[in-house]
Amino acid sequence: MSFAEDLDYDLFNEYINGFMISKVMFTACELGVFDLLESEGFLTFDVIAERLGTNSQGIEQLLDICATLKLLNVEMKKEKALYQNTKLASLYLTKSGPKTQYNMLLYMSKTTYSCWNHLTEAIREGKNQYMRTFGIPSDDLFEAIYRSEEELIKFMHGLHEIWSINGRYVITAFDLSSFPLIYDLGGDFFRDPIPEADLYILARILHDWADNKCIQLLKNIHHACRPGCGVLVVETLLAEDKRGPLTSQLYSLNMLVQTEGKERTPTEYHKILTQAGFQNFQFKKTGKIYDAILARK
Ligand SMILES: C[S@@+](CC[C@H](N)C(=O)[O-])C[C@H]1O[C@@H](n2cnc3c(N)ncnc32)[C@H](O)[C@@H]1O
């Protein structure tokens, strides 16, 4: 094998194993590894196994992979390995961490990961996989996504956790000082009347829906507000040729697997906003996961 082929093969292997890395992190979270280490500091694998009620060989393997992934630090004392959270784990992976993403990870592990098991069928059929994954009919997306109190709470906390990190980049993308009354669209906006406001925030809303439903919703907003009112659309933007960024592409595929929508390019958002009657289209790429679009009536 040439040097270039070696590199290709290494990359190929990274892709093959990618799902195992996600699952290691999800599982360590679910078992409570990071929470235990946060409260008790340096522990050996056998103590961790005992506290968490796991098999000791299994947990030792999991802990050592977490160390390789820089989620844990290991210190040797009297020939015994003592595990401790890294800063990354303390911040993001413990339930009470200042930037915790715990619920989001749980949601990714229990819901998204399960749905992605049917990615092949999603692509064949062009529809979400709630029926195959959970036996839930998906003709009412609301019913499917919020199918139990537990699922609703996990999803809502997960969404909030992502905003605790990404929110400031989108909310400062434009000067919003000319909009005194801001309405953050949520709940059942297809059925309930839309109140009058100066600015409507549609964060991770339009990506759930096909173009016709987005236009219908945007028309209802257009109808509800006075000339000059604005819509701030918060979504991850695809490049115009749709060949990147990778995260946006993956999220778009996830919309196929879990919703009725997709991620869009700036031009695609321009089109649906224009069809609903909005003008003065502007967009800002934040360089983070979520981007911002502002348009006015
Ligand atoms: C992905 S969440 C986004 C929530 C919030 N804006 C955020 O960014 O965290 C989608 C929102 O759409 C609302 N929604 C309205 N009608 C819906 C429906 N039929 N199916 C799913 N979600 C619906 C949900 O209540 C929820 O607030």
Atom of ligand 1 nearest to the CA of 234: 8
Measured by CA distance, the residue closest to atom 3 of ligand 1 is: 204
pLDDT tens-digit map of 246-292: 999 999 999 999 999 999 999 999 999 999 999 999 999 999 999 99
The pTM (predicted TM-score) of the whole model is: 0.95
| Nearest partner of 67 among 37, 40, 39, 97, judged by Cα | 37
User: For residue 124, how many other CB atoms are within 10 A of its CB?
Assistant: 9
Residues pairing with 232 in the sheet: 201, 294
Crossing angle of helices 45-52 and 33-40, in 10° steps, is 120
Catalytic residue, from 157, 160, 207, 270: name it. Answer: 207
Alpha carbon of 189 to ligand 1 centroid (Å): 9
Atom of ligand 1 nearest to the CA of 207: 1
Domains, the chain: 3-93 (1.10.10.10), 102-296 (3.40.50.150)
**Using a 6 Å cutoff on CB, does residue 190 contact ligand 1?**
yes
Alpha carbon of 187 to ligand 1 centroid (Å): 6
- Distance, CA of 89 to CA of 32 (rounded, Å): 12
Alpha carbon of 233 to ligand 1 centroid (Å): 13
Question: Which pLDDT belongs to residue 237?
Answer: 98
| Nearest partner of 279 among 296, 262, 259, 261, judged by Cα | 296
pLDDT tens-digit map of 160-196: 999 999 999 999 999 999 999 999 999 999 999 999 9
Residues pairing with 279 in the sheet: 296
**Active-site residue, 207 included:** yes
Burial of 289 (0-12, 13-18, 19+ CB in 10 A): middle
| Nearest partner of 218 among 234, 231, 203, judged by Cα | 231
Alpha carbon of 290 to ligand 1 centroid (Å): 16
Residues contacting residue 133 through CB under 8 Å, at least 6 positions apart: 114, 115, 117, 118
Residues of the chain with pLDDT under 70: none
**Using a 6 Å cutoff on CB, does residue 187 contact ligand 1?**
yes
Question: Which pLDDT belongs to residue 185?
Answer: 97
Measured by CA distance, the residue closest to atom 1 of ligand 1 is: 204
